[in-house]
Structure formats: structure tokens, C-alpha cells
Amino acid sequence: MKQESQNVTDYPNSNTIFIVWKLKDESPQLKNIFQQLCALVLNLNNSVFNRFPDSRASCVMSIGYEAWKKLDLPTPLPKELINFEEIKGVKHTAVATPGDLHFHLRADNNSICFDMAIEISKLLSSVAESILEIHGFKYWDARSILGFVDGTENPHGDDRDYFAKVGDEDALYKGGSYLFVQKYLHNMDAWKGLSTEEQEKVIGRSKENDIEMSDEVKPSNSHIALANIEGENGEELKIVRDNMPFGNPSTNEFGTYFIAYASTFSTVKKMLTNMFVGDPVGNYDRILDFSTAETGTLFFAPTREMLDDFSG
């Protein structure tokens, strides 16, 4: 039977809410409510598509390693679903933080995201605690708060499915997707202290026109040089990013919610190792001097059929 994926390859929308929940250990209603939750996620997607067909609205639910075991979901688990372990470099660390359920809500109208979040929270609040909620928004022409276009290297067309969804190598979970997320906070005072030319060397692209520097000019520790990775045989390795900026000007908190859907977590891990440890070791991603990872959690997004099975 063909497995229909959740909306993991949808393009970023104008409004997004990301929520991470931690399940309560002692809750006799947990499994029953999880069944209802799976049914709710399917219902929300059907409802927003029928009511607002042009809104590009969706709700993607993903499940962490500990939750998978706690909820007695099928075994063996997805092959690369683990508790993420921190990746520590000489100067910067990709921290590991807890998380059982992750929700990625998208729509062109924030009201749709808001109402979906309310329904999910009403159902979950008795058996889980919300430990992170981020409201992201489209900033100009898909730029991060740092002022550069974000996601230029994203795959398109059929490549989005290939790089985002599990294939035949894990037949039990074909069509599912590994989800890795990080909340980054930016030191905007330090960033704005750089000239435009210096900022461009950190990123590896022109700020105004989003043109990648040539290999002869691009610094080896630029973000583009280290985040773009290849396999052992030189094959291109990609992920589907759906990063969104967020911020609170009154408190001077500005950041990026990094979110990657991938067919294998090993691809994401290789990219993170390049960035935080460096290639070669010590040649870490210069953007980390201005952007600090506050969270880091791995999840798995089951297919719609799996959610239907989980709903009982």
C-alpha cells in the first residue's frame, strides 16, 4: 500500500507556529489521548484544505525517540531515530534538548495556525507540557533576521521527495521523514557591527542579490562552504529546510528556528559536525560566532497511514 507522507515537503508559508511538547510520565489517559491526537492531526489537515484550499495550510506532527517507546509504537523503530547527542566543537556546541512531540503549523493566514494550535493544546494539556513555542513569520523575500536570503540551497521538484522522505532502505517507514530542529538566537549587536562585506564572507553569498561567492573567493569557514555537504563518493547530500525567523524587538530577542526534514538523519548529523566541529577540525562555521543554538532535538514524522493506524 502506498504511504502518503505528511506535508513535509511543503514550501515555507507566511506564518508558522512550532510547538514542542514533553509527555507527563504518570498519565493513565496518555495512550488514549495520543490516539485522539493522531485523528485530530489528520482531521485538521483535511479541514483546512477543504475550508481554505489556497492557504497552503498544514499541520505536521513528529514523534521523538522517548515518546515512541513510551507510547508503545511499532518496533523496530525507524532506523535512525535516536536521542540526539550534542556535537561539541572547540568553541561552539550543538546542544541536545528534550522533546516528545513536535508540531509544525503553516498557513498564509496566522488565524489558521492559531486555531490549529488551540485545538492541539486543548487535547494535550492534561497529559503533556508545552516546553517551547515559536511564532515564525516570513521576513521580506524569505530572509532571516540577519538580512540574508535563507533556504537558497533547498532542493526543488522531485528532489524534495528524494531528500526529505525515507525510501526503500527502511521499508517499514517509507514515506516518513526525520525532523531535526534547533532554536538559534542571534547576537544582532555584534552582527550589525560587521560591514556588509564582512557579513557576506561569513555567509558566503552577496547580501543584496543572494549570489554565491566563487570557490576562489568564498572563505572555507563560511556558512555555505560548511553547510553544503557531499557523500563519500562525491554525491550531493541535501535536506529540506523550512527555517523561519522570529523575534521580540522590545526584549531584543531575535532568532531563526532551524527545521530540517531529511530521508536520513546521518545527512543532518554530517552537516552539523561540519558546522560545529569544523572541516578540517577547528575550521567551524563562522556564523556560530553570531548565532547560538539553544535547542537541538530529533523527531520522526510518520506517514498519514501510520497516523491513522496509531489513532486506533
Mind listing the pLDDT tens digit for each residue in 132-151? 999 999 999 999 999 999 99
In a domain, 218, yes or no: yes
In a domain, 301, yes or no: yes
Task: Out of 10, 54, 108, 150, pick the active-site residue.
Answer: 150
> Where do we find the cell 492557504?
55
Q: Which segments in the chain show pLDDT lower than 70?
A: 1-2
Grid coordinates given for 44: 485538521
The model's pTM is 0.97
In a domain, 117, yes or no: yes
| Count of domains observed in the chain | 1
In a domain, 191, yes or no: yes
In a domain, 3, yes or no: no
In a domain, 125, yes or no: yes
pLDDT of residue 1: 54
Range of the domain at 128: 15-310
pLDDT of residue 26: 74
Question: Is 309 assigned a catalytic role?
Answer: no
**Distance between CA atoms of residues 267 and 247, nearest Å:** 29
Kindly report the number of other CB atoms within 10 A of residue 10's CB atom: 17
Residue 12, preceding peptide bond in cis (omega within 30° of 0): no
pLDDT of residue 25: 81
In a domain, 174, yes or no: yes
**Distance between CA atoms of residues 296 and 83, nearest Å:** 10
In a domain, 7, yes or no: no
**Distance between CA atoms of residues 260 and 226, nearest Å:** 16
* Cβ atoms 143, 12 nearer than 8 A: no
Q: Report angle CA 172, 173, 176 to the nearest 5 degrees.
A: 165
pLDDT of residue 104: 98
